Structure 1
Amino acid sequence: MGSQEVLGQAARLASSGLLLQVLFRLITFVLNAFILRFLSKEIVGVVNVRLTLLYSTTLFLAREAFRRACLSGSTQRDWSQTLNLLWLTAPLGVFWSLFLGWVWLQLLEVPDPNVAPHYAAGVVLFGLSAVVELLGEPFWFLAQAHMFVKLKVTAESLSVILKSVLTVFLVLWLPHWGLYIFSLAQLFYTTVLVLCYVIYFTKLLGSPESTKLQTLPVSRISDLLPNITRNGAFINWKEAKLTWSFFKQSFLKQILTEGVYDIVNNLGSLVARLIFQPIEESFYVFFAKVLEREKDATLQKQEDIAVAAAVLEFLLKLALLSGLTITVFGFAYSQLALDIYGGAMLSSGSGPVLLRSYCLYVLLLAINGVTECFTFAAMSKEEVDRYNFVMLALSSSFLALSYLLTRWCGSVGFILANCFNMGIRITQSLCFIHRYYRRSPHRPLAGLRLSPVLLGAFALSGMVTAVSEVFLCCEQGWPARLAHIALGAFCLGATLGTAFLTETKLVHFLRTQLGVPRRTDKTT
């Protein structure tokens, strides 16, 4: 498969992921608004913060390293060994769900049972749902490695919709169940998700259609189950060592980046999750397929190196533009967003300052997502290990800085410490990218340069909206607020128009990769 074809598939995967995120957030928003009419906000808070964090942390620690290591492997591999390695995520998930469940029940404060009943059952069921989802990891990996876009969209959309229907039904008919409602809905969601992948591959591999798919490494469903390979080795130890390196990196990353406060975190990171996460996940697959680990840029196929450099440049440009837009306009509209979301209780306190600080963090988060996406796809195992040592050294400085800054400026200090941490990680990745392409004619880091005209547009928009906020928001009533919103919309349109006229290469890239329909395989 050529690099251009892989690029097209990665772009479609990213765009479908973006659409899925928008759909899921919309469904979640409407569902929460409905649930709050029947259940207490404390129950919804426990689910969205405590139990969802348990579920996501278990999945992250159990599978993130395996995904990075296995997706970056060559197509010329023993697929049985790779699938065997992926099956290890299930027992690892059992360990993490038991350990974290114990932490959630014994070390963290348990909510009042009169306010949030059945909390212990919720912890057990959310941990179990994570383990169930990990049982589908080999099937997910096969679909992701071969970029079965329609399967991903269908499975995740169907799972979320059915979960929402079940939640509404239980809320209406059995509201006294409390946390049982959300726990059973979550378990139902992961079960449906896994079954979608299993049923799809069962039907595909048992049909004549599968013989047409020459790229699939398996011919029957039993090939996806754990088995001993021809050479007697259960797993590929090179992949296993790389997985261990990525696990250490993932564990440190989870420790270093957890923790910005509830509502501000949800509002501030919403756009980041919508835009950057699907792009990072999809283009990691692209870079992992196009680039070969252990090889310098001069020793690889120059066509692939050129395509990877061009894609990295455009992704950096897109991340920078998106992050700057959020930072510039987020500064002037943080107070209004919090006022609309939670009223004067949020907008009159420290919330606006927290959200403004978080907008800066989102800019760094966007750039870091793209740079690490490339870096972890191109690094050798030894380079990943060296990076882990840097992360380990960074953890102590991060904790010290967090302590000093929070004592000096409160909650904002923690966000600023996260910004410092993210800045160091970006610097590490930029140094790696510079070294990687140093002896080639390609300069992908040029994506971090914007035209003076566009920078001027951002600066002017920032000044205009900041003045507008002083005179029109938020105590002046809704007519003034609407004028503030209209002025911001005009400035945003003018800034995006300037970007459209000055960043013509980026516009062409987005048009060619996302705007032109492509013929896809019937099975995907």
Structure 2
Amino acid sequence: MDTSGPTLRQRSVPTSDHLPTSPTSAPASSTDPANNVDLKSTDQASSILSSSVQGASYLVLLQFVSRMLTFTLNQVLLRFTSAETLGIASVQLELLLNTILFLSREGVRCAAIRVSDDSAEKEDETTSLDKKEKDKEMRIAPGSEAYRLQKLVNMVYAPIPVGALMTCLAVGYSLIQVTDKSEDNFPGYRLSIYLYGISALIELLAEPMFMVAQYKLWFKTRVSVEGTAVIVRCILTCALTIYGARAEVTGSSEEGSDKNTMGVLAFAIAQFVYGLLTLGGFLLAFWSKSTERRDLDRKRMAAAIKKRDGIAVKGQPSSNDDTISMSALLPRRLTKVGKDGKVESFYFDKELLKLSKTLTSQSLLKHILTEGDKMMMAKFADETAQGVYAFVVNYGSLIARILFQPLEETSRTLFSRLLSDIAPGSTSSNNDTTAEKTNTTTTTSRTLTETQLDNLVLSRNLLLTIMKFHVLLGLVFIAFGTHYTATLIDLVVGQYWSTTTKAPQVLSLYCYYVPIMGLNGITEAVVQAVASEKELGVLSYWMVGFSAVFCSTGAFLMGTLGLKAEGIVLANCVNLIMRIVWSMWFLSGYYGRYIPIAGTSSGIKSSDGGVVARFAYVPWQNIVPRPTVLVAFGAAFVLTAATEQWIGWQGLYNKAVHLGIGVAAFAVVMGVVFVSEKQFLRDIQSIVRQRRR
């Protein structure tokens, strides 16, 4: 049996390293008497996995279209606008927009997707609610899907007032930085700041619909709305910039002018239209799915039939799960019975609110880390090095934005849905705390149902499969990308960037950074999906430490050693590697808490200790490819390095030979992967098939 990696075979023992496939369909209320498995729950897990895989493909398509359009747009805009204008729009105004949106909604998004339905309460507790009170307020009973959805909707209204305050502060600060000279050099600068701030507020108004679509796994709806808005924004930016350039030429004085009459205003108008299209698109999409619209269509059809045939047709209520009432998108008071037996009314769930605060503070640290490289470059690097780094990031981050970001976002939703009722801090894991306090050897795996254990194994091996995919993809970048960066740059943007600057060397180093980004994204996404509020608070302290190491490492490499652009890439690698190790350590404890180790019948005991020993609770070695695959990639790395050194890439013939050898080596390596990693490829194929279910 191939045991080199996680597999997708159904296992009856949840301690296996193999991941169960989606079960065959069964009646909703049926139960497997042999294993005492609720088939309704397993079908639900299969449905979540299927929708998530399909959603990931949609999001990858969205990122591919938007990033390629943006990349192409930048090449066109460079012919019609100055680098300074592009820098203001792409750096300063985008930083303003991202600061408002990220700090206002990121923490709430991560917390709200983990909403629970208070199903831990006894069913008979809901009957203690006064019937007249329920009828009067039309309250939703705890434990229902509508209750869970309403809790999420209420929560995602919180970013709107927070975002309004953030907009006032951020826009006010940005306006203070604009001088009269800046306004003269870049006409419409102040108006552009206002437009970006208003656009942020408009996007926040669409947040409830965005999160409902995310929760219901309506990825196609989201991609349709956002994809349309992105395309219009790109086309409008380009059209306005070209129009401004032509207007400047037509209306220039005898002295001439190098100013585009639209300048940064073209970007601001396009961003404002993007916000309107996002809000309007979600409203139209949800109206098309609303029960109100379908009831209205049914009444119209019944009236038409009655008018034609004289037959009255009574409309039947819709039973389609793909519908939602528009009133469900509004905040609404909820009611539940507290532990003291008293009725509690609330809008915002206390646990979700506390978790949102924790995640928001963590988002602030992440935002600082994200923009930290720009701060370091401004302090330790000259303008040439800054230009090289911006050039490399523009090319090197394409794969991260197109592929890694959708995988990370989808994984966060997928793992949250699969493990929502067994995450630390939930009612299902309370016994774990009790076991630790009493210092007994009782394991929490005995408190979980067979379905919950299956979901744990499913999620764990999905994580390992995705991580192995990132490792293999990273090996492709390292073995082939590092020695073809100069060839690529020379072909795409010309000899200046490939020979005069250090862009090829920095981009080669960035190829090592790509797989590290992928592994960090998926592991942190899972941590955010399953960690308790207390554990996320601990992570925030670690993030502060990681930030300190990043800054000190960057200062040493860039300031003392003078590595400049290469130094900031290396500092980022060190930072993300530390975060990956911490996430793996945390997830080892999380899964080991519930899933017994292979060959034993117990999970983590309170007496277990040792940081290194803790990693044994998850088979992390399964993410490492087989030795034959590693040898093949190593040989390809040496071969491509030799051809770049001996044959070169300056002439057209040299490029053809160098590329030909690389293509041949890539084909051989892929053949070795197909032969040696058959089980892994079957796992990937099984996951992809979920999209068609």
- Is TM-score (shorter-chain normalized) higher than 0.5? yes
Change (3 A) 1:115 1:333: farther
Runs (5+) with no aligned partner, structure 1: 520-524
Matches within 5 A, 1:128-143: 128-143=198-213
Change (3 A) 1:110 1:449: farther
1:212 counterpart SS class: coil
Distance 1:460 1:108 in 2: 55
Among 13, 29, 35, the alignment partner of 2:71 is 29
Change (3 A) 1:172 1:422: closer
Partner of 1:522: none
For residues 127-185 of structure 1, the C-alpha deviation after alignment (integer angstroms, 9 at most, x for no partner) is 22122111111101111111112212211221122223333442343442221111111
Partner of 1:482: 656
1:72 counterpart SS class: coil
Tell me, yes or no, if the aligned pair for 2:104 and 2:159 is still in contact at 8 Å: yes
Partner of 2:258: none
Moved more, 277-286 or 230-239: 230-239
Change (3 A) 1:383 1:109: farther
Percentage of pairs with the same residue: 29
| Bigger Rg over Cα | 2
Flag the structure with higher helix content.
Answer: 1
How far did residue 513 of structure 1 move?
2.7
Among 450, 455, 474, the alignment partner of 2:630 is 455
Moved more, 82-91 or 504-513: 504-513
Tell me, yes or no, if the aligned pair for 1:80 and 1:226 is still in contact at 8 Å: yes
How far did residue 517 of structure 1 move?
5.6
Among 337, 353, 365, the alignment partner of 2:505 is 353
**Aligned amino acid, residue 340 of structure 1:** L
Distance 1:462 1:375 in 2: 34
> TM-score of the superposition, structure 1-length normalised?
0.91
Query: Does residue 407 of structure 2 align to residue 232 of structure 1?
Result: no
Distance 1:178 1:257 in 2: 27
**Aligned amino acid, residue 153 of structure 1:** V
Tell me, yes or no, if the aligned pair for 2:85 and 2:186 is still in contact at 8 Å: yes
How far did residue 212 of structure 1 move?
2.0
Distance 1:31 1:154 in 2: 21
Query: Does residue 583 of structure 2 align to residue 429 of structure 1?
Result: yes
- The count of corresponding residues between Structure 1 and Structure 2 is 516
Distance 2:517 2:275 in 1: 28
Partner of 2:392: 264
Tell me, yes or no, if the aligned pair for 2:50 and 2:690 is still in contact at 8 Å: no
Tell me, yes or no, if the aligned pair for 1:46 and 1:116 is still in contact at 8 Å: no
Distance 1:98 1:468 in 2: 57
Tell me, yes or no, if the aligned pair for 1:245 and 1:384 is still in contact at 8 Å: yes
For residues 340-371 of structure 1, the C-alpha deviation after alignment (integer angstroms, 9 at most, x for no partner) is 34434332322223222222222211111111
Tell me, yes or no, if the aligned pair for 1:118 and 1:180 is still in contact at 8 Å: yes
Distance 1:19 1:472 in 2: 37
Tell me, yes or no, if the aligned pair for 2:528 and 2:536 is still in contact at 8 Å: yes
Change (3 A) 1:78 1:310: closer
How far did residue 113 of structure 1 move?
4.6
Runs (5+) with no aligned partner, structure 2: 1-42, 118-142, 246-260, 296-316, 336-343, 375-388, 433-443, 599-617
Partner of 2:409: 281
Query: Does residue 596 of structure 2 align to residue 440 of structure 1?
Result: yes
Distance 1:239 1:468 in 2: 57
Change (3 A) 1:214 1:14: closer
1:332 counterpart SS class: coil
For residues 23-60 of structure 1, the C-alpha deviation after alignment (integer angstroms, 9 at most, x for no partner) is 11222233333333333343233322222232223222
Tell me, yes or no, if the aligned pair for 1:69 and 1:242 is still in contact at 8 Å: yes
Tell me, yes or no, if the aligned pair for 2:465 and 2:623 is still in contact at 8 Å: no
Moved more, 419-428 or 289-298: 289-298
Among 261, 273, 276, the alignment partner of 1:191 is 276
Distance 2:408 2:274 in 1: 24
Partner of 1:508: 682
Distance 1:107 1:47 in 2: 15
How far did residue 266 of structure 1 move?
1.4
Tell me, yes or no, if the aligned pair for 1:58 and 1:130 is still in contact at 8 Å: yes
Change (3 A) 1:516 1:82: closer
Moved more, 113-122 or 176-185: 113-122
Partner of 1:371: 523
CA RMSD of aligned residues (A): 2.5
Partner of 1:19: 61
Tell me, yes or no, if the aligned pair for 1:70 and 1:82 is still in contact at 8 Å: yes
Tell me, yes or no, if the aligned pair for 1:313 and 1:446 is still in contact at 8 Å: no
Among 335, 358, 362, the alignment partner of 1:245 is 358
Change (3 A) 1:204 1:262: same
How far did residue 234 of structure 1 move?
2.0
Distance 1:313 1:467 in 2: 34
1:437 counterpart SS class: helix
1:232 counterpart SS class: strand
Change (3 A) 1:516 1:302: closer
Matches within 5 A, 1:109-508: 112-113=182-183, 116-175=186-245, 176-205=261-290, 206-208=292-294, 211-214=318-321, 220-230=325-335, 231-258=344-371, 259=373, 261-291=389-419, 292-294=422-424, 295=429, 298=445, 299-300=447-448, 301-347=452-498, 348-407=500-559, 408=561, 409-438=563-592, 439-441=595-597, 443=618, 445-474=620-649, 476-508=650-682
Tell me, yes or no, if the aligned pair for 1:111 and 1:119 is still in contact at 8 Å: no
1:337 counterpart SS class: helix
> TM-score of the superposition, structure 2-length normalised?
0.70
Tell me, yes or no, if the aligned pair for 1:43 and 1:115 is still in contact at 8 Å: no
